[in-house]
Amino acid sequence: MRVVLVHPAGSNWVLDKPDISVTANRMAPGGLLSIAAYLLQHRRSVAVHDCLGPGTPQGPTANAEQIVALAPDLVGFSTTTSAFLDAMAMAQQIKRALPHVKIICGGVHVSALGARLLEQFEVIDYLAFGEGELTMSELVDGRPPTTIDGLIWRDGDRVVTNPPRQLISDLDSLPFPAYDALADFPRGYYLPPFSYINTPGATMITSRGCVYQCSYCDRSVFKRGFRYNSADYVFDHIELLHQSYGVRHINIYDDLFTTNRKRIVALCEKLARKGLPIQFNCAVRVGHTDEALLEMLRDAGCLMVSLGIESGDTELLERHKAGVELEEVRETVERIQAKGLRVKGLFMMGLPGETEASIRKTSDFVLSLDLDDMNMAKFTPFPGAPCWPTIEQDGTLDEDWRLMNCLNFVFLPKDIPSKERLEQLYNEHVKRFYTSPKWRRRLRRRLWQHRKTLWHFLRHLPSFLSARRHFQPSRDKR
């Protein structure tokens, strides 16, 4: 059986604005590469088609034609909410050209909505909910659908949801992602601007699940537990990326990278001892950042840590991210920077309960922290998040899947008069941070360090200038 795994492009930018998402940050599809590696390990014929990858055409039609040319028997789409309809457009064209092809969809959107999608979209043959490696392998092996946990399928006119698949307890049993399945990896992929010094870069996930339950976070795939790769496995993965692909910077996108202290101590000691010429970024949580740990991260090659803060309003934090206190956030930022590490603050605007006053509090708090970088997401209520069942009690929701990417406001809190006003407040806040004297002075001091980012900017200057104009506040929208 010939399998093609597809990463749909979807919508990755702001409505009615030129899409520069791939120009700014092109990430390898790690989940698909893990499934591909597992199938290849079991001697299956697998290809990966990354619709956001270098050299791929724009639009579902052109990408579907390239997938058809691979002569698949089974096409698997890994879909976010914003990419799902793109996947459906490609699936329909693939089925028209190759009626015998089976279509399976997985990913967070599928895991959140389940059988409803099979009922709505006739082009889909199967849905895989939860982790996909074993479910895909058993389907490819030809096992009867009735025997495959984690599968949703059709039995005539009836949609059947099989029992959920047990989570993989030993993540070290999985092979490293199949990077060779991507065209031009890693040179054709790059990290967000100013998040690295050395190139080329890559991304990595070393754990699955989260023990916390923030209101906005969809845990449909990996659930609330916490499983992780061992320190030896992570080190070997890093070593592979460096020795086989020349990678010199890695962004680790774990939600709780530093939760298991013993693992991080062992990994940092090994990285420091072996002296690989690699830097990395990771995320930490308030309460998991003591001085000894920060020193170990720094000595192991950590450049910057991301800190999920979300809001500068105490009431919003209590409601959406319990256990995080503003004063503790401030102390954590100071402690991180005192150890020579950079801090990127992660925030979210437009949460249920947001007001213009809370937005001003957050904006003031952001500036007071003297962060090295900042990311402000636009709150998006995803179907699998705890806030989803009651979201329409807190405001107005436009359930347009294409726009549900944290870059468009699809939800309007009750106390904000209009989406136009919310957009204006967002743009004012972003511009305020990046034009602040402190941030500009810090950037000037690091310009030479970030010369590779600057070169990337120059190569794509028209696109970045277009994006910059989007954040110019419009004073007439009240």
**pTM to 2 decimals?**
0.93
pLDDT at position 256: 83
CB atoms within 10 A of CB 298: 17
> What burial class does residue 469 get, using C-beta atoms within 10 Å of its C-beta: 0-12 exposed, 13-18 middle, 19+ buried?
exposed
| Among the four given CATH numbers 3.40.30.10, 1.20.1090.10, 3.40.50.280, 3.90.950.10, the one describing domain 2-161 | 3.40.50.280
* Cβ proximity of 312 and 362 under 8 Å: yes
Same topology, domains 2-161 and 191-470? Answer is: no
Q: List the structure tokens of 255.
A: 């939600």
Give me the pLDDT at residue 16, please.
Answer: 65
pLDDT given for residue 36 in this prediction: 98
Q: Beta strand pairing status for 151-155 and 158-161?
A: antiparallel
Structure tokens at 336: 């991180």
- Would you list the domain boundaries of the chain? 2-161, 191-470
Q: Which residue has the tokens 């909410």?
A: 81
Q: Indicate the helix (H) or strand (E) that contains 42.
A: none
Residue 279: phi, psi to the nearest 5?
-105, 160
pLDDT of residue 466: 65
Cβ contacts of residue 162 below 8 Å, gap of 6+?
145, 146, 148, 149, 150, 151, 152, 153
Which pLDDT score, from 0 to 100, does residue 461 have? Answer: 76
pLDDT of residue 341: 97
Domain 191-470 grouped into CATH 3.40.50.620: no
Helix ranges restricted to H, 13-72: 21-24, 30-41, 60-69
Q: Is the dihedral of CA 111, 116, 120, 122 positive or negative?
A: positive
SS3 178: coil
Give pLDDT tens digits along the chain (478 positions).
Answer: 999 999 999 876 666 666 667 778 899 999 999 999 999 999 999 999 999 999 999 899 999 999 999 999 999 999 999 999 999 999 999 999 999 999 999 999 999 999 999 999 999 999 999 999 999 999 999 999 999 999 999 999 999 999 999 999 999 999 999 999 999 999 999 999 999 999 999 999 999 988 888 999 987 887 778 899 999 999 999 999 999 999 999 999 998 899 899 999 999 999 999 989 999 999 998 877 899 999 999 999 999 999 999 999 999 999 999 888 999 999 999 999 999 999 999 999 999 999 999 999 999 999 999 999 999 999 999 999 999 999 999 999 999 999 999 999 999 999 999 999 999 999 999 999 999 999 999 999 999 999 999 998 888 777 666 666 655 555 444 3
| 362 Cβ contact list (under 8 Å, min separation 6) | 311, 312, 313, 347, 349, 429
Residue 289: the pLDDT is 87
Closest CA to 77 of 96, 97, 104, 101: 104
Report d(CA 388, CA 365) in Å as an integer.
28
